[in-house]
A = this chain, B = another copy of it.
């Protein structure tokens, strides 16, 4: 998973594993940072490779060679932005407490205007593709599996990882990309709903 080793310099606080070294890393940092700055003021569909290259002070050819096109670059930066390495997984002693805290943190994160722009950029970059899974959810799946496994150890009845993705994460992202209101109260209502479902495992 190359995307897991990348990071957005303005969001991650510590270096991560498998990060490219030397000149390659400097180019990546400069390019990611340039994308982040452009995202703050431009619509994703207005951002071009030459704009990124100029702001990053690198040769456009280097950008094309490494990322192929602007959509692939925006996608990679977006995925990196959703895979924060500094995030602490909640451990409150109950799955309800864990999921509420986890959903609140995600909501606060994705409603920020520049993060919403990243999400819309991902939608935009999806034209003509069908994915088996959204790479931005890999980290979310792992976090959910851990929280649910802890709940099982405590003897709690739980929804499945897929149910939490479908009924908490998907509606939150849907609301954000379609510009519908999304706040922590909404996130907590989704958590209540999923916890009141019959578990997929018991079907």
Contact = CB atoms under 8 A, between A and B. Distances in A.
A45 B180 contact: no
A5 interface: no
Interface residues on A, range: 35 or more
A94 interface: no
A200 B46 CA distance: 42
Interface in A163-203: 163, 166-167, 170-171, 173-175, 177-181, 189-190, 192-193, 196-198, 200, 203
Copies in the complex: 2
A120 B117 contact: no
A167 B171 contact: yes
Top 3 A-B residue pairs of the complex, sorted by shortest distance between their CB atoms:
A45-B45, A196-B198, A126-B179
Interface of A: 43-46, 117, 120, 122-124, 126-127, 129-134, 163, 166-167, 170-171, 173-175, 177-181, 189-190, 192-193, 196-198, 200, 203
6 contacts: A43-B45, A126-B179, A131-B180, A170-B175, A174-B174, A197-B197
